[in-house]
Amino acid sequence: MKDRVILAYSGGLDTSVAIGWIAEATGAEVIAVAVDVGQGGESLETIRQRALGCGAVEAYVADARDEFAEEYCMPALKANSLYMDAYPLVSALSRPVIVKHLVKAAKQFGATTVSHGCTGKGNDQVRFEVGIQTLGPDLKCIAPVRDLALTREKAIDYAEKNNLPIVTTKKNPFSIDQNVWGRAVETGFLEDIWNGPTKDVYDYTASPEFPPAPDVVTIEFKKGIPVAIDGNAVTPLQAIEELNRRAGAQGVGRIDIVEDRLVGIKSREIYEAPGAMALIAAHKELENVTVERELARFKKTVGQRWTELVYDGQWFSPLKRSLDAFIEDTQQHVNGEIRLELHGGRATVQGRRSSSSLYDFNLATYDEGDAFDQSSARGFIDIYGLSSKVATERDERVASNEAK
C-alpha cells in the first residue's frame, strides 16, 4: 500500500494543485480534507468533487460550524480575547478545529503525513504543525508552498497543463481568510502601511459613514454564553451569525492594525468581525456587573495570556488547558442581559440587568436610602495610605541626615 498524505483542502487554486504536486513529489496518495468553519462560499459537496477531480484518492469533508462556534469561539468570548487589545482571533481560532479533523482523517485513512498550504513566514504554519504533532505525535508534516517550492505561478501553469477543474485566470489582489468569527485580509496594496483600505477590502461590514437607523439588540447570557437575542433562543453559532448580520450592517467590527506575528515580523492586517466585537463588548460589560473586582483584575491578565497562547498556536498546551479551567470558573455568575445600540461602526452598551449582579443600588446611590457608611472612609484611607506615608517620612529623614 502506498503512503498517504492528508491535505488541508480549501478548494482554491493552491490546494487543488497541491494534490498532484504532492503526489508527484512524494509518490504518495493524497486525501483532501475540507472543514467548514463558516467561511461561506461553495458547498462542501462541490469542494469534495473538485478534490476528487484534481486527483485526490479520497475526500473527507466536515461541517464543523457548530463545533467551531461552541468549542472555540465561546472560550474566546469568555476570555474577552483580543490580540494586542484590538482584534478577535479570527484565523488562530479556526486552526485547532481544522487540525483536529486532519488528525482524525489521518487515523481513519492510515496516513503518515499531513500537509497544509502555509508559507514559511506566517503564523499558520506554526499553528498547524504544533497542533498536528501534539494530537498526532507520529505524523509528519509538509507544506508544498514552503517545502516543495510551489509558487502561484507554478500552480497556475500546473493547473492549466493538467486541465484541473479550477479557475486560474482571476487573481484576487488580497489574501483572505474568513470564518464565522471574522474575516482577515492582507497583501496587495495593503502592504504599504500608508495606504488606506478601499471599500472593496470589506465584505462582512457596510460602511459606517452612512449607517441605517440605530439597531438596538438585547443579548442574554448564561455562564458567559449568549443564549437569546431579543428574547429568542439561539445557539452560539446562531448568535454569532445574527450579530454578524446586524452589527455588520452598521459597520461594526472594522479593524486596521500592524500586528506582531509569531515569526518575528510585523504585518499589516485588515479585520472584519462584527459579531465577535459586538458579543465581546456585551460580555465584558456583563462581567463588569457580575464579577468581583480582584477576580476581574486577575482575569484580565489571564485572558491576555490565553490570547497570546492561542495566537501562538498553543491551543492544545497544558497551560492553555489550565487557563481554560480558571476562565470557566469565573463565568459561573456571568448571567443576565445586555442591551446594545449598534450604529455608525459602534456597539454601545445602553442597559444591563442580572439576577447575579454585584451592583447594589442602595450602596451606589447618593440619594435617599444610601446604605453606605461614610464614617468608615476616614479610617480606611488612613490605613490604605499608611505604607506610603511611612516611606515618605523615611525618605525625608534620610535626606535630612545626608544634608548634615
Does 11 carry a binding-site annotation?
Answer: yes
CB-CB contact of 5 with 111 (8 Å): yes
Q: Which of 48, 65, 95, 254 is catalytic?
A: 95
Does 48 carry a binding-site annotation?
Answer: no
Does 38 carry a binding-site annotation?
Answer: no
Helix (H) or strand (E) holding 266: strand 266-272
Does 336 carry a binding-site annotation?
Answer: no
| 324 tagged catalytic | no
Does 356 carry a binding-site annotation?
Answer: no
Does 271 carry a binding-site annotation?
Answer: yes
Does 150 carry a binding-site annotation?
Answer: no
Q: Which of 14, 65, 81, 312 is catalytic?
A: 14
Instruction: List 266's β-bridge partners, or say none.
Output: 260
Cα gap 102→116, rounded to integer Å: 10
**Which of 91, 90, 92, 270 has its CA nearest to residue 185?**
270
Q: Where are the alpha helices (H) located in 312-384, listed in sequence order?
A: 318-330, 361-364, 377-384
77: left (phi over 0), alpha (psi -120 to 50) or beta: alpha
Does 307 carry a binding-site annotation?
Answer: no
Cα gap 298→275, rounded to integer Å: 26
Q: Which of 124, 254, 267, 354 is catalytic?
A: 124
Longest dimension (CA), the chain: 93
Cell of 240: 454569532
Does 175 carry a binding-site annotation?
Answer: yes
| 95 tagged catalytic | yes
Does 366 carry a binding-site annotation?
Answer: no
Q: Which of 146, 147, 175, 324 is catalytic?
A: 175
Does 259 carry a binding-site annotation?
Answer: yes
Does 13 carry a binding-site annotation?
Answer: yes
Cα gap 50→39, rounded to integer Å: 17
Does 14 carry a binding-site annotation?
Answer: yes
Helix (H) or strand (E) holding 222: strand 215-222
3-state secondary structure of 85: coil
Cα gap 332→319, rounded to integer Å: 21
Q: Which residues touch 329 (CB under 8 Å, ≥6 apart)?
A: none
Specify binding-site residues for L-aspartate. 119, 123-124
- Which residues are marked as active site? 14, 95, 124, 175
Specify binding-site residues for ATP. 8-16, 117
Specify binding-site residues for L-citrulline. 87, 123, 127, 175, 259, 271
Specify binding-site residues. 8-16, 87, 117, 119, 123-124, 127, 175, 259, 271
